[in-house]
Amino acid sequence: MGEALTMICADLHVHTFYSGDAHIPPRLIVEELHAHPFLKAAAITDHDTINGYFEAKRWASDYADVIIIPGVEVSTFEGHLTILGITETPNRPLSLLEAVDFARENDAVIIVAHPYRVMGIGDLARNIKADAIETCNGRSSKKENKLAEELAKSLNLPGVGGSDAHRREQLWTAYTEIDASTDINDILAAIKHGKVKAVMHRQNNGR
């Protein structure tokens, strides 16, 4: 018998200090989730490494209410692509299409991260088969998020939200409401099937 469906609130784009440009300890992310009144899940999406996920998962084992989703923000020749549901990283350097192939081979979730910000893939998203577009990114401007929302609509893809936090104060600025149980596979399947809603909690950069 499966777990009952509920509404999961998840920040689908969080970096730890395993990303070269971020400063958040994995333990802090877990503790902040445990203390949060309703947001209890986060995808650890470090740049080209899965180490932050494994450390966060270890810390989360002490808390029954915290969900850590495996992921990585892959650097490709054309820009960044977020892949959820993997516990290994592809060999680099690689192209955007090679990253997509890697994700598909591993039955992972492909999210186009901040498409119209620096290192986003922009309109190249139209050339790949993604599962969702990040329409609420806590570090993107309102204009950049609006363009991402228009892209999602034009491609008939769901929009998701993530803070893209690199520092503690950036955590939870955007998140995703997911109609799923607390099982990670169910969460990933719900994203693929569009059972999501992107939420901008607060615009971090004020642009």
Instruction: Write the DSSP string, 134-192.
Output: EEEETTS-HHHHHHHHHHHHHHT--EEEE--BSSGGGTTSEEEEEEE-S-HHHHHHHHH
- pLDDT (mean) for 91-105: 97
**pLDDT tens, residue by residue, 155-207:** 999 999 999 999 999 999 999 999 999 999 999 999 999 999 999 987 554 33
Opening angle at CA 143, ends 140 and 148, nearest 5: 75
**pLDDT tens, residue by residue, 75-93:** 999 999 999 999 999 999 9
**Secondary structure (3-state) at 118:** coil
**pLDDT tens, residue by residue, 30-42:** 999 999 999 999 9
- pLDDT at position 5: 63
For the chain, what is the mean pLDDT? Answer: 95
